[in-house]
Each structure stands twice: as C-alpha cells, then as structure tokens.
C-alpha cells in the first residue's frame, strides 16, 4: 500500500511500515513523579527559501517544544510532574502512521496520548485517521489550512498554529486602518498560494478593502540562490508589476518562497509589499519584546543558540498548554489534560498580552497576530475599532456563525 500527500506542490510518497521514523526519547522519565509523555512528529525535509537568513534550522519547531518541556519541568518540580518529549522526524519515504504508532508506544510502557504534529495538512489528516479512537489528541503546530478547521475539522485535533484566514484578516485589518484599501493581489502557482489568495479575497471583503487587480507568478522551477541571479531579478520584478491600475499596496501570497521575497524595492510603482514578504502576519517574531517576550527570547537563544521562529512559538505554546492543564488538573492522564484544555475556563499565557483560549467550534487557538517587517513589530492585530461581541480575537479567522465545522 502506498499513500501520498501533497507537500509544497510536489508529490511525495510514503511506503507503509517501511523505514519508519527513528523515534528518540530526549529525557529519561523519573519514576517517583507522574510522567506526562508528549510526542513531536515532524516533517523533517527542508523547504527552500529566497533569503539565506530564512533557511530553516534542523530543530525548527522542535526547539520550541524542548524549551516548553524545560519550563514545564521547572513548574513540575513543585507538582511532582515530569514532562518527557519524544522526537519523531519523518522523511520522504517514511510512513506517518508508523511514526505515530512508534511514538505512542515509547516511554517505559506508557502510552503517549498527546502528540504535536509539525506536518503539512494532508499528512496531519493521515495521522489523525491512524490515531482515531485510540485516545490520542493531536496538536497541529504547523498546518495553516482553513479546511482543517472547517470541513475537515476533528474533535481530536487542536490547532495551535493560526489559520491562513486568521493571518490574512490580521494583515487586512491593519491595511484598512492605514487606509491602504486598494490592493493588488499577487499569488503564486502552488496549491497553497491559491488557498492563501482565497484568504486575502475573503479578508478584503470582510474589512472593506478592494482588490483592484490580481496577478499570478508562475513557478517555472529552478534554484532560489544563484550567483548573479540578482541581475535578472532586478529586471523581472518591475516587469511583473507593470501596467497595474492605481493601487495602495501589493499583497503577496507565496508560501513556497518563489517570488514575493524579490518584490520589495523592485515593483514598477513605488508601493509597499505585504503578505509573504515585507510586512508579514506571524504568530511570533524573534524581536517581539512586549508582555515579557524578552524573557522568552533570552531563554530560547540561550538554549537553542539561534532566534525563535513562529514555528518554535507554536510548538512552545502547545507544550505549555499541556503543562498548564497538567498543573491545573494535577493529572498526568492525557484524556484529563485534553479535556481541561478544551474547557471554557482554560487559558494559556504566551507573551501576547492576554490569555489564549480555544474556540469551541473548531478547536482553534485564539491569538493576536503580530505584523513584522522582519526587524521590528509594526503592529499587533486585532486592530482597535474591529469590534466583536465576545472577544476581538474572534475578528480573526472563521467565527462561530461562519463555521462549517461539525464537531460530534
């Protein structure tokens, strides 16, 4: 049997049972304490980036989870609780379901019922299907797909990563506040880019912006970094953005880093670039210093010897949610912990200035979204004036009345 998933627009095949990921327990369990086992299943193949600075570290995401394990264990010493993380990388040719089974049987005979998934959407659905009915709760720390929160939603999958709709709404609110409401939407040719472009179309409609023109940039293949490629890029990008109607801002949807990174300072007209380059909506940024953020940044750099990425933050938050529920319930039982995380009183502090909690209609974590230019935080959405009857955080993404998710 062969299963397939789509990743970054390419087909990658996984042979069942063969070459299962090598799972490795990073911390030994201490028998005197109640042990909370957490698995981290991650797609370990690297994505190419336009800038050398954005090349993903081998432990991107994982390091965030590891720091939260340390934080949880500092708290755990007062609660007689011990947190243990099992790392399960998946590479091309591995079977995700086997990785799930393998990590679920790790840890001195204790079943792992709490699993972070740092994998693309299709693989997440495979994992969820493989884990169904086994009392396993998945924490999606990577996939931004709105479908996972809509028609493909599941009661055993908690989404810590913000969705594309949340990210697009966060940026749109700021652009509208700035009165940059005439957009040109430039999107790539990968399926993810089409989904992100949909999120920007929806955001424009919701917040009163106007897309005056859409242009598509086709990925014709090839390397990102090429010596002297700069000469051609300087010619290509003005031409790509030529002959556009009057507009305020160029909104880009390019999740695979094909073209957006080349647009700032190279557009035909002098216009700011936002979205996948320029001003970007993110769950975290290495220079976020508000609400005690500096403390987390310092702690992270000291442990990982690099800066903390949005994926690191999403993984940190997921493990902290588990830690928070374990100390509130004084329980190491995965089901009790998952139930507490889903309860209306639950909240986790994650350096965003307010408690983050789950939406009970799709198990998406509500969160403010940072708007970063890569150097500083330009703003944080939701923006003032975008009101909501329950919480302004629900102005980002699919709100209760709009949801297509039907949880049992």
Partner 1 sequence: MTRLFARMLLAGLMVPTSVGPAFAYTAYVTNEKDNTISVVDLDQMKTVKTIPVGQRPRGITITKDGADLLVCASDDDTIQIIDTKTLKIVGDLPSGPDPETFALHVSGNPLYVSNEDDNLITVIDVPTRKVIARIPTGVEPEGMAVSPDGKTIVNTSETTNMAHFVDYATAKMVASVLVDARPRIAMFKHDGSEVWVSAEEGGTVSVIDPVKHAVTHKIGFAIQGLRSDTIQPVGIQFTPDDATAFVALGPANRVAVVDAKTYEVKKYLLVGQRVWQMAFTPDNKYLLTTNGLSNDISVIDVADLDVIKSIQVGRLPWGVVVSPQ
Helix 334-341 and helix 310-329: axis angle, to 10°? 110
Nearer to partner 1, 76 or 275 (CB): 76
SS3 content of the chain, % helix, strand, coil (to 5): 35, 20, 45
Residue closer to partner 1 by CB (options 72, 126) is 72
Give me the least distance between CB of 23 and partner 1, in Å please: 27
Cβ distance to partner 1 smaller for residue 178 or 299? 299
CA geometry: angle 211, 214, 218, nearest 5 deg:
155
- Determine the Cα–Cα distance for residues 142 and 124; give it in Å rounded to an integer: 9
Q: Distance between CA 280 and CA 376 in Å, rounded?
A: 11
Total number of residues shown for the chain: 408
Contacts of 322 (CB under 8 A, 6+ apart): 36, 38, 72, 83, 114, 139, 337, 341
CB of 144 to partner 1, least distance (A): 24
Q: Quote the CA–CA distance of 364 and 200 in Å, as a whole number.
A: 19
Rank residues 227 and 345 by Cβ distance to partner 1 and give the closer one. Answer: 345
- Residue 327 CB, shortest distance to partner 1, in Å, is 6
DSSP 142: S
What phi and psi, each to the nearest 5 degrees, are found at residue 126?
A: -60, -45
Least Å distance, CB 160 to partner 1, is 17
Residue placing its CB nearer to partner 1 in the complex, 70 or 266: 70
Q: Whole-number minimum distance, CB 188 to partner 1, in Å? A: 37
Tell me whether residue 262 or residue 316 sits nearer to partner 1 (CB atom): 316
Round to whole Å and give the CA distance between 284 and 286.
7
Least distance to partner 1 from the beta carbon of 61, Å?
20
- Closest to partner 1 by CB, 51 vs 295, is 295
Q: How far apart are CA 267 and CA 246, in angstroms?
A: 13
- Rounded to an integer, what distance in angstroms lies between the CA atom of residue 312 and that of residue 161? 10
Q: What is the DSSP letter of 216?
A: E
The residues that touch partner 1, with contacts defined as CB under 8 A, are 71, 74-75, 78, 292, 295, 298-299, 302, 320, 324, 327-328, 347-349, 353-355, 391-392
* Minimum separation from the CB atom of position 298 to partner 1 (A): 5
């Amino acid at each position: 049997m062969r299963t397939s998933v789509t990743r970054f627009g390419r087909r990658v095949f996984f042979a069942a049972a063969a070459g299962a990921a090598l799972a490795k327990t990073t911390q030994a369990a201490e028998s005197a304490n109640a042990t909370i086992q957490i698995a981290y299943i991650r797609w370990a193949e690297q994505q190419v980036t336009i800038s050398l600075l954005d090349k993903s570290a081998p432990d991107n995401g994982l390091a965030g989870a590891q720091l939260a394990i340390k934080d949880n264990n500092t708290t755990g010493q007062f609660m007689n609780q011990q947190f243990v993380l099992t790392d399960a990388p998946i590479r091309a040719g591995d079977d995700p379901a086997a990785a799930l089974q393998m990590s679920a049987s790790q840890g001195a005979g204790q079943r792992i019922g709490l699993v972070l998934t740092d994998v693309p959407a299709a693989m997440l659905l495979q994992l969820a299907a493989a884990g169904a009915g086994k009392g396993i709760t998945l924490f999606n720390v990577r996939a931004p797909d709105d479908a996972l929160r809509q028609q493909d939603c599941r009661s055993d999958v908690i989404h810590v990563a913000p969705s594309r709709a949340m990210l697009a709404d966060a940026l749109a609110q700021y652009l509208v506040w700035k009165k940059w409401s005439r957009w040109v939407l430039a999107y790539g040719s990968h399926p993810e880019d089409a989904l992100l472009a949909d999120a920007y179309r929806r955001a424009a409609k919701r917040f009163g912006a106007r897309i005056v023109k859409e242009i598509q940039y086709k990925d014709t293949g090839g390397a990102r970094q090429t010596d002297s490629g700069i000469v051609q890029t300087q010619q290509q990008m003005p031409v790509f953005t030529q002959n556009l109607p009057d507009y305020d801002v160029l909104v880009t949807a390019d999740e695979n880093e094909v073209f957006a990174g080349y647009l700032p300072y190279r557009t035909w007209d002098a216009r700011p670039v936002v979205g996948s380059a320029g001003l970007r909506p993110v769950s975290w940024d290495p220079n976020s210093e508000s609400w005690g953020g500096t403390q987390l940044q310092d702690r992270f750099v000291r442990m990982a010897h690099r800066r903390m990425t949005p994926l690191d933050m999403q993984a940190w938050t997921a493990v902290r949610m588990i830690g928070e529920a374990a100390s509130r319930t004084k329980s190491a039982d995965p089901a009790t912990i998952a139930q507490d995380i889903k309860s209306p009183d639950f909240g986790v502090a994650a350096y965003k200035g307010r408690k983050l909690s789950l939406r009970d209609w799709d198990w998406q974590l509500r969160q403010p979204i940072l708007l970063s230019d890569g150097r500083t935080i330009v703003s944080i959405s939701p923006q003032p004036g975008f009101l909501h009857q329950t919480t302004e955080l629900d102005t980002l993404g699919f709100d209760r009345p709009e949801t297509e998710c039907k949880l049992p």
